[in-house]
Structure 1
Amino acid sequence: MDNLTLLLIERMGILLTLAFILTRTPLFRQLLDRELHVGTSIAFSVMFGLFGIAGTYAGVVVQGESYLPAFWIFRLSYDEIIANSTLVGVVIGGLLGGPLVGLGAGVIAGLHVFQLGGFAAAPMGLSIPITGLLAGYVARFFSQERVISPSKAMFIGMFAPIIQMSLLLIMAAPPELARTMVNVIGIPMVLTNSVSIAIFTTMIRVALQEAERSAAIEAERSFTIAERILPHLKRGLTPQTAQSAALVLQKETKAAAVAVTDRERLLAHVGVGADHHHPGEAIHSELDMRALYSGGIDKGLTRESVGCKRKNCNLHAAILVPIKEGDSVVGLIKLYYRRPQQIGKVQEALAKGLGNLISNQLTLSLTEQMKGLMKDAELRMLQAQIHPHFLFNTLNSIVTLIRIDPQLARHMTVQLGVFMRFNLKLTASPLVTVRQELDHLHAYLEIIKIRFSEQFAVRTIIDAGVEEALIPPGTLQPLVENCIQHGVRDITNGGEIILHVKREDVHVVFQIEDNGQGFPDNLLPVLGKVPMESKEGNGIGIHNVNQRLISLCGQDAQLHFANKQEGGSMITFTIPITKEVSA
């Protein structure tokens, strides 16, 4: 028995080498991401079924007390049986792909074992698909785990050969031979199959961690590069800003050369080929035109495709990253390489992340510029605006959450969309209902609580009969933001902000209070009356809110600021319940 165990462990090394190669295939990554449908289920069934067949050939033929460690098995005599690792591939298929993949792989591997013959052909062949099916159903208990832990996999792997040995004792004849063979191969198969399954799942986890670690590194690298070149690109695409951006990109990306263009001409070229790629030249290659009009990242893998006509040019490959402002492509960033082989998955991921970040930030910059084109000049200066730090941090949080928690990233994006749509209404209507204003505030709070969920809580108390009252849009959000930035932000936990909206006769009273540090005493007399510059910029927002309340709802609607005796601050204001806009 000891010799058989050692032989199976030796064969297990060959099988696990094949498993290591398998975990590096793109098809296998689809299985980890649970991208399953009929086509992929069939493909995975075949893949793990073939792996199971490989486990059969990695087995040892047992005849009585003797072992025949042949690598190629054609047919078994009646009194022979295979001590094998067939169940490894089938169980892993079931654990990762579910019952259908486990059953499909088991049928393929089981038919192969059955056609090899031997007195145990029927029970051995039948036990394999049954084991695959059961492994698939057991995996549903661990569906919250992306990959089942090795310890759990090992425990499940111990029962797979036990089921096989049980069917062998029940179905195989003669019974004396079946008992003898179970005594010989039972324990070695339980040990080697369970250990192999545990090691296989460990390999899968390592492969997954490597991929996620690499993606995290590239995301951080993209952030660093974007932060360094955005100040240049935000000043517009000129030869000077393009040259500065190209220098940063060439240093950070380690590309052979970097070029920046607008829609018509080359603005800057840094690195290899600078002696014949001159700024001012018209861009004309088919690759350039395709990237400009499609708006997607593209790549060229020949010297001709990247647009160089000089025969001795050392630039033979390039990745093109469109520079977008809104929906419009305004230029290209071209990352050049000496050989096509230098463009791998890492370079493509970096280019994609860089393109998204630059486009998002330039779109944000364009949005800020468009605010200066509002039709009503007076309201244009006073309306509450999205704070650049808030939107920048929100976009960064979304990019980070896409890899860590896609569902939460999707939720945050939806709330940001609601928040953005409401801000667009600022230019269309001078007043909105309290219900709409509260919806806007809740969208903001949904985003904020993802970032500061453990520091503070926001509670709203809304009395009946106030929802249809009219209020200047964007009034509550800057006031709550002020409580966060200057009141409870430095509190590690236990912070609280309370918004109370109540009706008093023909007025609606708004009260926002927090348990933070309160307002500085020297600022209380001037808050809301003059713009207050600060690092977070919220003093201007409060001034704008106050001026719009006075302008649209009357002098009695102005903001009142106070510090509470028990600590914290309070802001109150009152608006009339009316459908008419005050003069």
Structure 2
Amino acid sequence: MKVLTMTLFERLGLLLVLAFLLTRIPGFRSLLDRELDVKTTGMHALIFGLFGIAGAQAGVVMEGETFFSSFWVFQVEEHQMLVGTSLVAIVIAGLLGGPVVGWGAGCIVSLYMFQLGGMGALANSLVHPLTGFLAGWTARFFSQERVIAPTKALFIGIFPPILQGALLLVFSSQPEKMIPFVDRIGLPLVLSNSVAIAIFTAMIRVALHEQEQEAASATRRALTIAEEALPYLKKESPMEMAADIAELLFKELQVAAVSVTDRMEVLAHRGLGDDHHHRGDPLTSPLLQRAIQKGEVTIASMREEIRCPHPCCPLEAAIIVPIVQSGEISGLIQLYFRKSQQLRAVEVALAHGLGKLISNQLNAVSAEKLRLLIRDAELRNLQAQINPHFLFNTLHLISTLIRVNPDLARKITVHLGNYMRYNLRLASASLVPLEQEWEHLDAYLEILRIRFADRLNLVCHMEDGVGQAMLPPSTIQPLVENSIQHGLKDATSGGKVEIETRKGKEGIRIIVRDNGCGFAADILEQVGKTPVPSEKGSGIGLYNVNQRLIGLLGAESQLQVCNRRSGGSEISFRIPDREAAEEGVG
């Protein structure tokens, strides 16, 4: 028994070498991921069936109390039995592939064992498909594990040899001879099969861990490259962007060469072959054109597919990655290799990931540029809607004063000219210093003082040291205009508007208050948030100001509107202290 046990363990070496090679088959992963269809089920049943036949042939031929081995057994005599580790492959097939794969592999080994003949041929034929089915059924209890643990596999591996011994006794025509035979082979088979199954599952777990580590490493590389590529993708010049991307990929991926192209020509090439792969070379290869048309990652595994005209080009293989921008193929990234053997699955997967990441980043950059252009156009449009409101009122005042007080009309015209000069200068910028906005406001207020000299008092106060704070142009003037047009519309005397700046910890607060009638209670909550129509206008003035403040300074700068207890209203907004905010973040 001891000699038989040692012999079977020695023969396990060959079986485990085959098992190691099996774990390196790319399609073997579908078993681990439970991604089985009819084709892959049949293929894996065949593979494990052949593996089981190899396990049987790695055993010995028992004859009475002796045994002998042969390179290959073609026929077993009636008084002989082939004793091996064929059940190992069947158990693994069931544990990984389920009942169908296990049963299929067992049937293949069963047919082979039956045609070999020998003592217990029927029992050996039945035990293999039955073991495969039972192992697959048992695996369902461990479905939460991708690969069963070796300790559990060691325990499960004890039962198939016991089942084999039981069937040998049940179907034997001479039980008195079979009982001592089963005693001799029982323990060696239990030990060798259970240990082999445990080692096999450990090999699979190691192979799976290596695969996961490689995939994780590829993912980290792809994310690192995508992050470093973002500043280059924002460049306006396609040539500069392509050169920087090619340099980055060549350094990080350590491939033979990298080319970046648009749809027509090479924009940049870095690495081997740069003596004849030049910027401006046309894309003549049918493989490149197919990648552009289909938008799929394409692999060139032969020099002929690359179609390089140079006779001594060192580049033999390539992965061609299309770059999608705004739903269309905008260019290609070509990763070159010296030998086709370097085209591993991890490189192809990495190329797929890089293509998607770079395409997504290009789309994000384009969307951001478009968003900024749209926002700038909207804000300028809002600004254009505000300025004519004051202009029409002033022109109407001048036309009225020309007959009754030409000197005063001339004075207002001068102030209006000053106001408009400031307005034209400020209209070209999205943000201006508060001191310039204050000068703009002064020109406006001078006109109002002349117009409402008898019934309106305008008071302004700006603290020292706040003049360089940035805000949208023409922001304060519409607030003052709103106080006069709506808050003080019925005031015949004693009207007052105050404009004040206050510097605090969170920034500069600008306040416009009046002693008029205030806002109606039913519209107070909507002021600045939605256009509120009124008798004297569309009610869009405050809404436009609020939109510009939020768009350019952030939500914390939106208008704050309230009615004063003493009468009138107060509208304020805040200019955030950007330097303090940045110091707080740092």
Structures share a fold, TM > 0.5?
A: yes
Cα distance change, pair 64–525 in 1 and its aligned pair in 2 (3 A): farther
Quick one: which amino acid aligns to residue 554 of structure 2?
H
Aligned: 1:27 with 2:38: no
What does residue range 471-482 of structure 1 map to in structure 2 within 5 Å? none
What does residue range 278-357 of structure 1 map to in structure 2 within 5 Å? 278-357=278-357
Quick one: which amino acid aligns to residue 285 of structure 1?
S
Q: Where does residue 275 of structure 2 map in the other structure?
A: 275
8 Å contact kept, 2:559–2:571? no
Aligned: 1:543 with 2:526: no
Following the alignment from structure 1 to structure 2, what is the Cα–Cα distance between the partners of residues 548 and 196? 76
Quick one: which amino acid aligns to residue 352 of structure 1?
H
Quick one: which amino acid aligns to residue 544 of structure 1?
A
Following the alignment from structure 2 to structure 1, what is the Cα–Cα distance between the partners of residues 49 and 162? 20
> Share of identical aligned residues, percent?
49
Any idea what the Cα deviations from partners look like across 1:65-115, whole Å, max 9, x if unmatched?
Answer: 111122322332333223221110111111111111111111221222223
Cα distance change, pair 209–526 in 1 and its aligned pair in 2 (3 A): farther
Q: Where does residue 418 of structure 2 map in the other structure?
A: none
Following the alignment from structure 1 to structure 2, what is the Cα–Cα distance between the partners of residues 37 and 543? 55
8 Å contact kept, 1:319–1:351? yes
Report deviation, 1:45.
1.7
Q: Where does residue 367 of structure 2 map in the other structure?
A: 367
Following the alignment from structure 2 to structure 1, what is the Cα–Cα distance between the partners of residues 146 and 381? 51
Any idea what the Cα deviations from partners look like across 1:406-459, whole Å, max 9, x if unmatched?
Answer: xxxxxxxxxxxxxxxxxxxxxxxxxxxxxxxxxxxxxxxxxxxxxxxxxxxxxx
| Structure 1 unmatched runs, 5+ | 383-520, 530-538, 561-583
Quick one: which amino acid aligns to residue 51 of structure 1?
F
Aligned: 1:88 with 2:71: no
Following the alignment from structure 2 to structure 1, what is the Cα–Cα distance between the partners of residues 571 and 198? 69
Report deviation, 1:305.
3.3
What does residue range 146-295 of structure 1 map to in structure 2 within 5 Å? 146-295=146-295
Following the alignment from structure 2 to structure 1, what is the Cα–Cα distance between the partners of residues 351 and 79? 62
Q: Where does residue 69 of structure 1 map in the other structure?
A: 69
Bigger shift: 340-349 or 88-97?
A: 340-349
Q: Where does residue 101 of structure 1 map in the other structure?
A: 101
Cα distance change, pair 235–171 in 1 and its aligned pair in 2 (3 A): same
Following the alignment from structure 1 to structure 2, what is the Cα–Cα distance between the partners of residues 346 and 557? 62
Quick one: which amino acid aligns to residue 522 of structure 1?
K
Report deviation, 1:191.
0.2
Report deviation, 1:377.
4.9
Following the alignment from structure 1 to structure 2, what is the Cα–Cα distance between the partners of residues 549 and 154? 73
Bigger shift: 339-348 or 51-60?
A: 339-348
Following the alignment from structure 1 to structure 2, what is the Cα–Cα distance between the partners of residues 557 and 190? 89
Report deviation, 1:275.
2.6
Q: Where does residue 474 of structure 2 map in the other structure?
A: none
| Structure 2 unmatched runs, 5+ | 383-503, 511-527, 529-549, 562-568, 575-586
8 Å contact kept, 2:226–2:354? yes
Bigger shift: 2-11 or 287-296?
A: 287-296
Following the alignment from structure 1 to structure 2, what is the Cα–Cα distance between the partners of residues 180 and 199? 30
Cα distance change, pair 7–226 in 1 and its aligned pair in 2 (3 A): same
8 Å contact kept, 1:266–1:279? yes
Report deviation, 1:181.
0.7
Following the alignment from structure 1 to structure 2, what is the Cα–Cα distance between the partners of residues 326 and 339? 35
8 Å contact kept, 1:225–1:248? yes
Q: Secondary structure at the match of 1:305?
A: helix
What does residue range 373-412 of structure 1 map to in structure 2 within 5 Å? 374=374, 377-378=377-378
Cα RMSD, aligned residues only: 3.1
Following the alignment from structure 1 to structure 2, what is the Cα–Cα distance between the partners of residues 12 and 380? 81
Quick one: which amino acid aligns to residue 362 of structure 1?
L
Q: TM-score, normalised by structure 1?
A: 0.65
Report deviation, 1:25.
1.0
Q: Which has the larger radius of gyration?
A: 2
Q: Secondary structure at the match of 1:71?
A: coil
Quick one: which amino acid aligns to residue 356 of structure 2?
N
What does residue range 453-464 of structure 1 map to in structure 2 within 5 Å? none
Q: Where does residue 456 of structure 1 map in the other structure?
A: none
Cα distance change, pair 308–108 in 1 and its aligned pair in 2 (3 A): closer
Quick one: which amino acid aligns to residue 8 of structure 1?
L
Quick one: which amino acid aligns to residue 158 of structure 1?
I
Q: Where does residue 8 of structure 2 map in the other structure?
A: 8
Q: TM-score, normalised by structure 2?
A: 0.64
Aligned: 1:522 with 2:522: no
